Amino acid sequence: MLFAQDVRGRAPGGREQQMVLRQDLPPQRSGAADRAPVPDPGPPSAAAPRALAPSRLLPWLARLGVPAAAFAVFQGLLGILPENLAGEAARYCVAATAGAGVGAVVWLAAALLRARSAAASVVAPAVPVPVPAPAGSLPELVDGTYQALRRGLTVIEVPGRGPLTGWPHSLAESEPPVHPTAFGTAYGLHLLLDIAPYDGRIRAGEVAETLWRLRLPGGGWAARSQGSGARPEVSAIVLGALARAGADARLLEAEIRSCEVLWDPDHDASGLANTYVVTNVLRGLLRAAPGAAALEGLREVLVNGATADPARDHHRCWGAALATGHGNPAPSAVHTARAVVALDRAARVLGEDERQCAVREEGLRWLLAGPAAPGGGASDLLNCQEEVRRPVQEDPLHQELLSVRHFAAAWVARALMTDGARQVADGEVGLPVWEAQLAAAVARVHGMQQGGVWRWDDGPMGHPVWMAYQGLSVLRRYALMVYRP
């Protein structure tokens, strides 16, 4: 193999001198001559005879072809060998042998050229060099989210509760400092554990302790607008965050026992007839108490709450209200995606029977049929809002109102990234359709953020902590799915 490498040295007179080292040079003699710089011979003289370089000889021989070269040598030797060489047969044998030998040499030369061409086409892997993350990359986006978490963090002393370290509902609410909420702090803790588990500038232990201090006197947690009564959808989310942060198992078990009444449909019939509420409780309890007796009943409530949609091949789906309740079970992409994600997580933790699997997969088929349905596809990715109404416990004549905003593209993307989505798509609409739908949902999720902060609107409540958690979770999951080492 021939290769050249420039070596620069300094001549005694101070002039920089360049030498060319070649692997095909003969070994140098030992002694002082070895250490002397080899002068550049310069261009060859025009008067000096120029030998045919091996690098030119091989292509010349290869162009002849094996049969042509062999025949040429045979004919040449046959013409110059003496006729008295032990008879005519000997002359032919010598010429044929020489021709075969040259033919073999030409064949080897051609094989060597092909091997060199193949080796030259393989680019040697570059030595990895640490470089800063390009603009808009996922690491840069994660860093932007963490900086927003630091800016939005509220540290405040509340009489009767002690120091609180957490987040309100939105990352834009921190000036002036406002009271951390259970919902915002729970999602902030989830986000912190995702992107900065080893960064001590925000201590996850202090955030978890704040969640315990925000616990209502009777047990459980509620959103800021829900008054003094604990609610199942918020309590389950907080318990899931505490379990993920490593809270004491005995404290978690005691709290779950005190909240058992919250998961009972007879206690909160209007709440547990709502898809948003049931899916929140199911996902939170699967994290905090995977052995809880209420889980199977909650899953059955969700499975039985599916309804067939004639507009999409009669596949079962979910609406804002479960079909077993008294609300509007009109098909909804975001609620169907929520249900699919919750049922997928339950299947991984608890297992599932054929009926439960069939309903979950029908929800996926309903989502995959979106682009083919009138008004489907892009409309499935539009954010939406709903109101969860409950009678006030102290005064049944009045209603409690919880305004819920849904990050539709994030939920659809999460449903399409569940374990069974690829298999269902492969047997129904095909993998290219699934990939295109997933890419469209992820693109919309990415487009709703700026510098790692997800925006619902430009108001003070327009940068929800839960939206940053959901958006970043989708992008991280998608990056892992499409990465190929």
For 208-253, what is each residue's pLDDT tens digit? 999 999 999 989 999 988 877 899 999 999 999 999 999 999 999 9
Interhelix angle 249-258/232-244, nearest 10 degrees: 170
pLDDT value at position 459?
Answer: 78
Note whether 62 and 110 are within 8 A (CB).
yes
In the beta sheet, which residues pair with residue 4?
22
89 band by pLDDT with thresholds 50, 70 and 90: low
**Tens digit of each residue's pLDDT (9 = 90 or more) over 273-312:** 999 999 999 999 999 999 999 999 999 999 999 999 999 9
Residue 11: is its pLDDT beyond 80? no
CA angle 125, 127, 133 (to 5 degrees): 110
Q: Give the H/E segment covering residue 8.
A: strand 4-10
Note whether 196 and 209 are within 8 A (CB).
no
Query: SS3 of 293, please?
Result: coil
CA angle 441, 277, 438 (to 5 degrees): 10
178 band by pLDDT with thresholds 50, 70 and 90: confident
**The two three-digit tokens of residue 401, written as one number:** 């109102």
- What mean pLDDT comes out for the span 257-277? 91
Cut 0.85: pTM above it: no
Note whether 312 and 330 are within 8 A (CB).
no
Q: How many CA atoms lie within 13 A of 348 on its CB side?
A: 12
Q: Give the H/E segment covering residue 410.
A: helix 408-416
Interhelix angle 249-258/275-288, nearest 10 degrees: 150
Query: CA-to-CA distance for 303 and 313, rounded, in angstroms?
Result: 19
pLDDT value at position 368?
Answer: 95
**Tens digit of each residue's pLDDT (9 = 90 or more) over 369-396:** 988 776 667 899 999 999 998 887 767 7
Beta strands in 219-337 (DSSP E): 307-309, 315-317
- What mean pLDDT comes out for the span 71-86? 62
Nearest CA-CA partner of 461 in 144, 88, 142, 181: 181
